Chains A and B, each alone.
Chain A
Amino acid sequence: DTAVSQTPKYLVTQMGNDKSIKCEQNLGHDTMYWYKQDSKKFLKIMFSYNNKELIINETVPNRFSPKSPDKAHLNLHINSLELGDSAVYFCASSQERGGRETQYFGPGTRLLVL
């Protein structure tokens, strides 16, 4: 039974399009995250939500907008996709937002912008 799931697993799209990546966790966790792993393999946090409230918003373009309909879901919507958005996007969750808790990661969504 998958703990943190992401859809789609692969996403190939044209520049300028708008796309969404969905994330769901069935662990009952209160906090969810989005990370981006770029071509240099850096894994960097983008956003974090705790009980549907935004608690971390790193310096990412405002073309990226997270949406949390409930605490089990954190979706990532990207407008006007650019070539540089090509990366692997990981969703994660943790029990609390204290920072020391283990994070549970989804399998990643591989986005390729052509």
Chain B
Amino acid sequence: QVQLQESGPGLVNPSQTLSLTCTVSGGSISSGSYYWSWIRQPAGKGLEWIGRIYTSGSSNYNPSLKSRLTISLDTSKNQFSLKLTSVTAADTAVYYCARDRNYYDGQRGIGVHYFDYWGQGTLVTVSS
């Protein structure tokens, strides 16, 4: 059973960098055709996809965050990480890491991408 666990500071000063790590257990982060994603949820609001990284190290980011965002992979520690620079109060949210199961359905000619395992989430508050 794959498990994910987020860790990092719960309070970040405005204009500083938000850094979070997701530790994966129950399976190797570098095996299988999986992406590893970050998703966030402001209080009382819906889910927002932040970005993802593949086992090869290639990544995709939400265009609205791309200029401030870096997602990286540390296969030796079975972890992946998020760095978001120049944060404001609008970045206050519960941050989730998740495994992104993806494959190509040749019969329908479409990609299939969904999040099958999630961390419990960690609240990050941006405030001085």
Q: Do A and B bind each other?
A: no
Interface residues of B (CB under 8 A from A): none
Interface residues of A (CB under 8 A from B): none
